[in-house]
Amino acid sequence: MRKLVYFVASTLDGFIAAPDGSFGFFPFSVDSDLARHIQAEYPETLPTAFRQALGFDTAPNRVFDTVVMGRGTYEPALQEGITSPYRHLRQYVFSRSMAPLDPEVEVVADDPAEFVRALKREDGKDVWLCGGGQLAGVLWREIDELVVKLNPLAAGDGIPLARRAFDPTLLTLRSAQPMADGVVLLHYTR
Ligand SMILES: NC(=O)c1ccc[n+]([C@@H]2O[C@H](COP(=O)([O-])OP(=O)(O)OC[C@H]3O[C@@H](n4cnc5c(N)ncnc54)[C@H](OP(=O)(O)O)[C@@H]3O)[C@@H](O)[C@H]2O)c1
């Protein structure tokens, strides 16, 4: 059975984007330790256009072959005219309001938890929960692993890592990998 892995960048105070949804305040650069690590270990989590610009768009998928995201996470790509942001993955966008815009991206209005449970029963690599906070809250109990790129900054306000009711959940830390740029890659299992 494959796993649902929430692989996400967060601030120290648990935000994955600014209140307006922007995320340019995360200090990510292509020649950083973190970028090199992602290229080597999780190349499929970089958007196709980004991979093409960096010249490694043929890198095979290592961990994931499928990505699920909420409409709020898909929309920034749409605003740039990109309707298929992760062409190298099977892509599902959860939305009850949006019509499909690209044959490579399936829009799903069904219950996300039920849909993800069916995906997990299929053969293949793991399923990447890209975000955002609302979908992560809905899928919280289905998340088997959490990989947090913990950035050395606090935002004060923004979109939370998982928007859900108070319900403390203890996870098991599998590894903590500090990067030269101050990011710590934290890997938890349920
Ligand atoms: N830091 C990171 O690594 C990272 C990663 C990903 C995203 N982000 C950021 O996160 C932000 C988006 O997060 P968000 O919390 O605002 O939105 P989101 O979780 O991406 O999407 C929310 C949308 O998902 C759909 N949805 C939610 N529950 C559903 C259900 N039960 N059934 C079907 N569809 C459902 C709804 O679409 P409808 O209203 O159409 O029904 C809802 O409006 C973006 O700004 C993005 O930049 C950051």
pLDDT score for 29: 85
Q: Is 186 in the pocket of ligand 1 (CB under 6 A)?
A: no
Phi, psi of 37 (to 5 degrees): -65, -45
pLDDT score for 171: 98
Q: Is 47 in the pocket of ligand 1 (CB under 6 A)?
A: no
Q: Is 159 in the pocket of ligand 1 (CB under 6 A)?
A: yes
Residue 75 Cα to ligand 1 midpoint, Å, equals 9
Which ligand 1 atom is nearest residue 21's CA? 45
Give Cβ neighbours of residue 184 (< 8 Å, ≥ 6 apart): 150, 176, 177, 178
Residue 47 Cα to ligand 1 midpoint, Å, equals 17
Residues shown for the chain: 190
Which residues of the chain, if any, have pLDDT below 50?
A: none
pLDDT score for 54: 85
pLDDT score for 94: 98
d(CA 113, CA 156): 30
β-strands 184-189, 159-160: how paired?
unpaired
Q: Is 9 in the pocket of ligand 1 (CB under 6 A)?
A: yes
pLDDT digits (tens, 9 = 90+) for 86-140: 999 999 999 999 999 999 999 999 999 999 999 999 999 999 999 999 999 999 9
Residue 150 Cα to ligand 1 midpoint, Å, equals 20
Other beta carbons within 10 angstroms of residue 146's beta carbon come to 24
Q: Is 14 in the pocket of ligand 1 (CB under 6 A)?
A: no
Q: Is 17 in the pocket of ligand 1 (CB under 6 A)?
A: yes
CATH architecture of 4-189: 3-Layer(aba) Sandwich (3.40)
Q: Is 182 in the pocket of ligand 1 (CB under 6 A)?
A: no
pLDDT score for 5: 98
pLDDT score for 55: 86
pTM to 2 decimal places: 0.97
Residue 180 Cα to ligand 1 midpoint, Å, equals 30
